[in-house]
Amino acid sequence: MIKERMISMFTAIFGSFEAGIIYAIMALGVYLSFRILDFPDLTVDGSFVTGAAISAVMIANGTDPFLATIMALFAGFAAGCLTGLLHTFGKINNLLSGILMMIALYSINLRIMGRSNIPLLNTDTAFTKISGFFEKTGIDSFFNNILSMVGLGDSLPETWGILLFMIIVTFVIKFLTDLFLRTEIGLAVRATGDNKRMIRSLSANTNLLVVFGLGLSNALVAFSGALIAQQGGFADVGMGIGMIVIGLASVIIGEALFGTKTIARTTLAVIGGSIIYRIVVTLALRVDFLDPGDMKLITALIVIIALTAPKIIEGSKEKKRKARRKSERRNIIKANTSAKGDNHATLK
């Protein structure tokens, strides 16, 4: 009984890791807009699907899956730029520009796909190619042997290829992001989110930087969408609903748990946050009375807890500190009065 539970637990956590590392790319995109540009960009809900739709249509039509995934990247970039243009040149409020773009993309995604769902089963995706390649290397059987030795032989994952490949891809993107944010343009993008007036007085075109930054952010989101479609074996027009909240959850959880001291540390934290978010959701869904439809509710609750818990904890610490100081002072006063032997009025 215990062994069975352990096995199913392992399978669930393995799946969480695999999905988490792919969604981490989306979370990095959200980090770029939400934290770096200080722009809560709801385009994400639409551009994630755009990436999935473009890659699914192209793959279904026989295009090389890697090429299709790259095309998703460009489509996302275009979508993000449009949101940026709405905000900067259209002077529309940032939340509203994102919402408008998200709604517009819903129809555009339907147009791209031609119908609301494209299955990718029995088609060659980037991941079937990767896992095929991995089978030949023998890495799969190496890891599975280790698992069998620790007694998890009945829950061997089909392939380790996706996980290992995605760890490499996600970390390459992470390092490129870190590198970019330290370039002259990257510094200007960061300053745009930090102090627009200042960077404008240093001769930077903040409008262009916002457009470009949102483009990059949504390129990553769409890239992640394309990979999720291939991993899950379908693209669906509704698969992006609530994606921004998942991205925010990853960013906020990651930052809270792993810290934000430097940019490199924070991007690593965001990746960690994405994986932990997946694990939390998977574990939550294993509770008997919850079903998959509750996932969005769980997500919202996680974000609410991640946003409020630090303040509550800080508040209670503060209270304890004050109480301690008060009692210390009381003791000192008590000691003083008893030393003098006077009968001062006692402090309550």
Partner 1 sequence: MLHLNEIHKIFNEGTPDEKIAIDHVNLNLQPGDFVTVIGSNGAGKSTLMNIISGVLTPDVGEVQINGKNVTNMSEYKRSKMIGRVFQDPMAGTAPSMTIEENLAMAYSRNKMRTLRQGVTKKRRDYFREVLESLHLGLENRLSAKVGLLSGGERQALSLLMATFTEPSILLLDEHTAALDPSRAELITNLTREIVDKYKLTTLMVTHNMQQAIDLGNRLIMMDKGQIILEVSEENKKQLTIESLLTEFKRIRGEHMASDRAILS
Spatial CA neighbour of 299 closest among 256, 222, 244: 244
Confirm if 160 and 140 have CB atoms less than 8 A apart.
yes
**Residue choice 73, 118, 173, 191 for contact with partner 1 (CB under 8 A):** 191
DSSP 104-145: HHHHHHHHHHSSSEEE-TTS--HHHHHHHHHHHHTHHHHHHH
Q: Which one, 167 or 185, has the nearer CB to partner 1?
A: 185
Q: Which one, 185 or 241, has the nearer CB to partner 1?
A: 185
Spatial CA neighbour of 221 closest among 64, 42, 92, 91: 42
Distance CA 112, CA 26 (A): 21
With binding defined as CB under 8 A, does residue 190 bind partner 1? yes
**Residue choice 3, 5, 182, 296 for contact with partner 1 (CB under 8 A):** 182
With binding defined as CB under 8 A, does residue 342 bind partner 1? no
Main-chain phi, psi angles of 183, to 5 degrees? -80, 170
Interaction residues for partner 1, span 206-245 (CB under 8 A):
206
Determine the distance from the C-alpha atom of residue 302 to the mean position of all C-alpha atoms in its chain, rounded to a whole number.
13
Q: Which one, 33 or 47, has the nearer CB to partner 1?
A: 33
Tokens in use for 23?
């969604």
**Residue choice 22, 32, 188, 248 for contact with partner 1 (CB under 8 A):** 188
Q: How far is the CB of 94 from partner 1 (least distance, A)?
A: 19
Q: How far is the CB of 37 from partner 1 (least distance, A)?
A: 12
**Residue choice 2, 111, 122, 201 for contact with partner 1 (CB under 8 A):** 201
Rg of the Cα atoms in the chain: 25
Which amino acid appears at position 141 of this protein? S
The size of the chain, in residues, is 348
With binding defined as CB under 8 A, does residue 89 bind partner 1? no
With binding defined as CB under 8 A, does residue 64 bind partner 1? no
With binding defined as CB under 8 A, does residue 249 bind partner 1? no
With binding defined as CB under 8 A, does residue 91 bind partner 1? no
With binding defined as CB under 8 A, does residue 280 bind partner 1? no
With binding defined as CB under 8 A, does residue 198 bind partner 1? yes
Site for partner 1, rule CB under 8 A: 180, 182-188, 190-191, 194-195, 197-206
